[in-house]
């Protein structure tokens, strides 16, 4: 079974991003989209990150066009949108597939108990959240409707 910390992705500006650097950090992973009803959650994700990054929280955004074609732009367009409209400073990755045959390896790990050792999950829409602890263990998944500032998320981050 692969460890969370052996995974990697590519940043929105094309640089490799090894998850090994996330050891010792709590991580919230979220699939994002710029034209979704949940897009205002970018502001909440940024607030959560800004408030808790010095305590070890990392938020990773993974743009995806999987649901409703709501992330049609290229990486540069997405990065500009996030910065201009929501002041996003948390790490954004390149656009990925979160479902299907071309599912990104990070999402394969997040959604399959035979990979993560904890649970099976299905990403059903944009802004689905996954919480991973400091040891790289998947703790829970949360649907799009759950705010990044929900008391359950805050309790987990502050625990």
Whether 105 contacts 76, CB under 8 Å: no
Task: Identify the active-site residue in 31, 65, 85, 116.
Answer: 85
Distance (Å, whole) CA 79 – CA 73: 10
Distance (Å, whole) CA 129 – CA 60: 10
| Known catalytic residue at 85 | yes
Burial (Cβ within 10 Å: 0-12, 13-18, ≥19) of residue 15:
exposed
Report the catalytic residues: 85
């Amino acid at each position: 079974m692969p460890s969370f910390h052996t995974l990697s992705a590519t940043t929105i500006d094309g640089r490799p991003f090894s998850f090994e650097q996330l050891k010792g950090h709590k991580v919230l992973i979220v699939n994002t989209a710029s034209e979704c009803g949940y897009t205002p959650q970018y502001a909440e994700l940024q607030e959560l990150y800004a408030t808790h990054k010095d305590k070890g929280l990392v938020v990773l955004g993974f743009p995806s066009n999987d649901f409703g074609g709501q992330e049609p732009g290229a990486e540069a367009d997405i990065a500009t949108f996030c910065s201009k409209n929501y002041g996003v400073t948390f790490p954004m990755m390149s656009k990925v597939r979160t479902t299907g045959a071309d599912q990104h390896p990070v999402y394969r790990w997040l959604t399959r108990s035979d990979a993560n050792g904890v649970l099976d999950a299905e990403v059903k829409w944009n802004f689905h959240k996954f919480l991973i602890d400091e040891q790289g263990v998947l703790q829970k998944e949360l649907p799009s409707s759950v705010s990044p500032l929900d008391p359950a998320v805050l309790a987990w981050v502050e625990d």
